[in-house]
Structure 1
Amino acid sequence: MTTETDTAAQQADAFMAGKKKADDTAFMLGRVLAEMGIKVGDVDSWPLLTGRASLSGEPSVYLGTVPLPTARKLINALVFAESRRRNPPEQCDCRYDA
């Protein structure tokens, strides 16, 4: 049987592991948004993006409130990416020799 101290230590370890995973995910999402020209931390662009974890260690990312123009830009990018995935451009093996 585990003692209460062992149980608390296991919960703390699970929380910290989940928090690290969530922070890593939030960081990578922030990098992707930056590549799209969306600045995290800017009130007019994307005010808040943080990694969180439950006491059980389940990671999550809190996106905060996103302004409508930023949400539209992100939606358009996702729709474009999905359409390219479904219908990739024709591969042309043509050579232009002038």
Structure 2
Amino acid sequence: MTTDTEAAAQQADAFMEGKKKADDAAFMLGQALTLMGITVGDRDSWPRLTGRASLSGEPSVFLGTVPLPTVRKLANALVYAESARRQQEL
């Protein structure tokens, strides 16, 4: 049986590991968006993109509120990428 101190340390370790994974994913997404001409941190493009983690260590990425033109550009890129992937499979 673990003590309260050990349990708290394990929870903190899980949180930090999840936060690191989420930060890495947010960074990679930010780089991909930059290649598409979408600027992360710009209120007119993509104001917020941050890595988060729950206390259990489950990583997530907070996307923030994204302007509609940026969402359309991203959706079009995803549709194009999926179409290209399907064409390669044929």
Normalised by the shorter chain, which TM-score bucket? over 0.9
- Once residues 25 and 87 of structure 2 are traced to their aligned partners in structure 1, the CA distance between those partners, rounded to angstroms, is 28
Counterpart residue number, 2:7: 7
Residues 35-59 of structure 1: per-residue CA shift (max 9 Å, x gap): 0000000000000000000000000
- Secondary structure at the aligned position of 1:87 is classed as helix
Which of 1 and 2 has greater Rg?
A: 1
RMSD, aligned α-carbons:
1.0
Is there any run of 5+ residues in structure 2 with no aligned partner, and where?
none
Structure with greater helix percent: 2
- Once residues 25 and 13 of structure 1 are traced to their aligned partners in structure 2, the CA distance between those partners, rounded to angstroms, is 18
Aligned residues: 89
Is there any run of 5+ residues in structure 1 with no aligned partner, and where?
89-98
4+ long deviations beyond 6 Å: none
TM-score by length of 1: 0.89
